[in-house]
A and B are shown apart, each in its own frame.
Chain A
Amino acid sequence: MATIHLSINDKSYAVDTDPQTNLLAVLREDLDLTGSKYGCGEGQCGACTVLIDGKAQRSCITRVGSVVGRKVTTIEGLVKGDRLHPVQQAFLDESAMQCAYCTSGMIMSAVALLQQNLLPSEKEIVDFMEGNVCRCGTYPRIIRAIQRAAKEQAPAVAKGVER
């Protein structure tokens, strides 16, 4: 056991845990941030996806000790005040969910994609999102939601406007 200092959603946390513990367990059990989901435990389904320094990572196979000093963003960190992130809003607008258990991970992956590629093609979306599973089969809607978010957020990003 050690005291681990974490920066999650722009807040600082100190957690007493084994640095080998996976980040997902720390988020869910120690910090009660349950928006990130367990789906497979081997980085194959993407339900646990978080951003680490802006990059999409599977928190179920990420040791908590490895994220010390890095910025972690979870689904709970996307809302600014009452305002949904454009990707969150696009998922609502396209009804891009059924049971929605995959939705947090899908949104986090999509946010990471749009940060590195403002207007991805459909093929680029499919390639990037291939590691996220939606067992209910809402993939076509998720693609549309990402395209919608890209269209809505790209002009703002291009102008350097903080969303």
Chain B
Amino acid sequence: MSTRVTHQIALEPERYELRAAAPYHFDLDRRDFFKFLGAGIVVVSVLKPAIAAQESGGGRQRRGESLPQEIDAWLHLGANGKVTVYTGKVEVGQNIRTSLSQAVAEELHVPIERIELVMGDTQLTPFDMGTFGSRTTPTMNLQLRKVAAAAREALVELAAEQWQADRLQLRAADWKVTDPKTNRTANYAALLKGQQITRTIAADQPLIPATQWKVAGQSVPRVDGRDFVTGQHRYPSDQKLPGMLYGKVLRPAAFNATLVSADTKKAQQMGATVVQDGNFLGVAAPSSKAAEAAMGAIHAEWKSDPQISNKELTDYLRKNAIQGKDPSGDGDRFETGSIDQAMGSADHKLQATFTVQYIAHVPLEPRAALAKWDGDQLTVWTGTQRPFGVRGQLAEAFHIPPDQVRVLMPDTGSGYGGKHTGETAIEAARLARAAKRPVKVVWTREEEFTWAYFRPAGVMDVTSGVRNDGTITAWEFHNYNSGSAGIKPYYEIPNQRIIFHEVNSPLRQGSYRALAATANHFARESHMDELAHAVKMDSLEFRLKNLKNERLRAVFEAAAKQFGWGKSKSPGQGFGMGGGYEKLGNIATFAEVNVDSKSGDVKIVRVVSAFECGAIVNPDNLRNQVEGSNVQGLGGALFEAIEFQNGKILNDRLSQYRVPRFSDVPALETVLVDRKDIPSVGAGECPMVGLAPAIANAIFDATGARLRALPLIPNGLKT
């Protein structure tokens, strides 16, 4: 038996950009499931309206009737008054457990305390591609509102039948249906009378407009906050089973190394379970200390070839491009107008190169999994943004059908796009199978830094042309390796050539919060200031001259007002801006820096963000996300970079890899633009993309030094 573990260095495509259709499937025999649920109302959300209409026949279904396969969420309202919602989305700190509960409470008219969300359990929840791409709010929030609205409608219909009343005259509120004419009232449980009712919803289920929201749109406190401040919540790394062993995996000496030989006798004599299977070498023992000792007793020889270091990275990425990929998916490039003609007639022609480094997600909870086998049935508790994806990886690794694998995702200690893969799940399951006992694997910080995957490094070349009056006429943009998210300009430019060049990355790379939009916005928004400088125009005026998109203009103007753009500055002070459109949201970020001319120390003094993501679901949580994006973004903007050489990570500890801390945080001000007329979209990623260019532009404003590489100032400013 061979396991597919972490030792191969494969190109991890940015999963957001995978274009394959989602293979929807279901594990449970739903008939049994609904029996298990007992009396109450079950409402399922069906993906395709055509199927919904066909299956539901536009009315109530009879008990026991089969249900469609293409379900993406469902809700059960029990006779005991409990509402249980099933979704494949997972909680990694975005606080969607609360915001999705708000959506259900709003439409179903139940107190939020009655709602429980079952999330990311491959046996109980419908299939979900994963929690990424800021999709939870625009898709799942909407689906759950529809599901809850359909449940409410079913209850109103029940009351109308029972009371022989006109259903249009009845009102649902606060867990009850009331007939205002007769003052007759009954709570939801009483209306059910022990029946089991099944409903599907259509895509055009009418919903309460955002202007009339009472629960949604409010800063509802986190639904399970008490469990977290008391230490009672069990994260994946806190999971435990009777008789459980602790697993450790012996890592190769370098990336791409192959195992030549291993002496495991001593480890076995120590009583540990030892597994050597291809390149996989692991141990399991009754305590983590015993497992570490057993692993330390193994003598292994690895063979590896010389590999490049971060110092040669920029050249490497340029020279190893595979092809130019089109960001829109229609060919290998995006082109409009004539770049060559436009460049020929431009008053000013600019050329600049920008770079970004590999950075690490550093989720404070490292990867963790607990696995147990019952015969051929495998159950794994793990922290992942893709429980169904990890189920597939496990099925593949162990040559078993996916329906023999159950993956459960306890609310996890963050991901930021870094937990799309199931390394620890596979490792724990492999060890558990050998030990015939449950095994838990929790990665050390060094393992997380080395054997997870990185935010891609990249090189971006910009060539541009502008007229004296500030009109941008030409924009040529090449991105090597970092990705195509956010690569297209939102400015009105008649002649464009935009190419994403895929590269065989020297390090394992994958999704990271906001993907390549951070790199592409850094290059574009920095270059916008270079162009403004060339034509001697104010940065804001120059942007607005070339920008038609009203929503983006609105956030630039709102942030400028809050920031006080145009005010005078003192020596060492610098102001800058950056912004854009990403994941359906609009952000503008303004930064104030202070540069000590003697020491070169740069202090980020103040950051003002204006953000608009449609109708706001939870204002306080939204602020929290915008603030968090800026704070996390400071790391990648200012000092985070992975150093590597010969297949080894050189800064694989928190004492060597600097992340933002309390003293790094500037004054943060957030302006929320609430557009109740626009559907709500996600907020976890977009707010990050304006920060790096805003700081770079502010440093230029303070010193005249144009920094075109992220991180900007890993060692302060050397002019």
Contacts and interface: CB of A to CB of B under 8 A. Distances in A.
Nearest to A128: B662
A104 B225 CA distance: 12
B632 interface: yes
A112 to B, nearest CB: 15
Contacts of A129: 662
A102 B226 CA distance: 14
Interface string A56-96: 00000000000000000011101100001000110110010
Nearest to B440: A29
A133 B231 contact: no
Contact of A84 (B226, B627, B629): B226
Interface string A123-163: 00111011011111111111100000000000000000000
Given A99-B414, A100-B93, A34 B627 contact: no
A25 B288 contact: yes
Contact of B289 (A18, A78, A139): A18
Given A44-B653, A44-B654, A101-B414, A133 B659 contact: yes
Nearest to B620: A95
Given A41-B445, A135-B363, A136-B414, A99 B92 contact: yes
B685 to A, nearest CB: 13
B229 A133 contact: no
Contacts, number: 166
Contacts of A102: 364
A41 B444 contact: yes
B287 A25 contact: yes
Q: Name the residue in A32, A92, A101, A133 with the highest tally of chain B Cβ atoms < 10 Å from its Cβ.
A: A101
A136 B237 contact: no
A137 B660 contact: yes
Chain B interface residue bracket vs A: 35 or more
A140 B668 CA distance: 8
A21 interface: yes
Given A25-B287, A39-B364, A92-B225, A76 B230 contact: yes
Contacts of A104: 231
A37 B230 contact: no
Contact of B364 (A21, A95, A133): A133
B626 to A, nearest CB: 10
Given A47-B364, A99-B92, A99-B413, A40 B654 contact: yes
Q: Among the interface residues B93, B230, B233, B238, which one has the most CB atoms of the partner chain A within 10 A? A: B230
Contacts of A78: 230
B38 interface: no
B617 to A, nearest CB: 14
B234 interface: yes
Contacts of A54: none
Contact of A126 (B226, B630, B662): B662
B226 A92 contact: yes
Interface string B623-643: 011011111100000000000
Contact of B624 (A36, A44, A79, A98): A98
A97 interface: yes
Instruction: Identify which of A36, A38, A127 gathers the most chain B CB atoms within 10 Å of its CB.
Output: A38
B364 A91 contact: no
Band of interface residues on A: 35 or more
Contact of B93 (A32, A35, A136): A136
A45 interface: yes
Contact of B663 (A103, A126, A138): A126
A53 interface: no
Contacts of A42: 445, 653-655
A51 interface: no
Contacts of A134: 364
Q: Which of A39, A89, A126 has the most CB of B within 10 A?
A: A39
Nearest to B286: A29
Residue among B225, B228, B231, B362 facing the most chain A CB atoms (10 A cut-off): B231
26 contacts: A35-B231, A37-B413, A39-B445, A39-B654, A41-B444, A74-B231, A75-B230, A79-B230, A88-B229, A92-B226, A95-B219, A95-B222, A97-B222, A97-B228, A98-B625, A99-B92, A99-B411, A99-B412, A104-B231, A107-B229, A135-B363, A135-B416, A137-B628, A137-B630, A137-B660, A138-B624
Given A17-B289, A39-B364, A139-B665, 16 more contacts: A18-B289, A25-B288, A25-B289, A35-B232, A36-B231, A39-B366, A40-B445, A40-B653, A42-B445, A45-B654, A92-B226, A95-B221, A99-B365, A100-B229, A103-B228, A140-B631
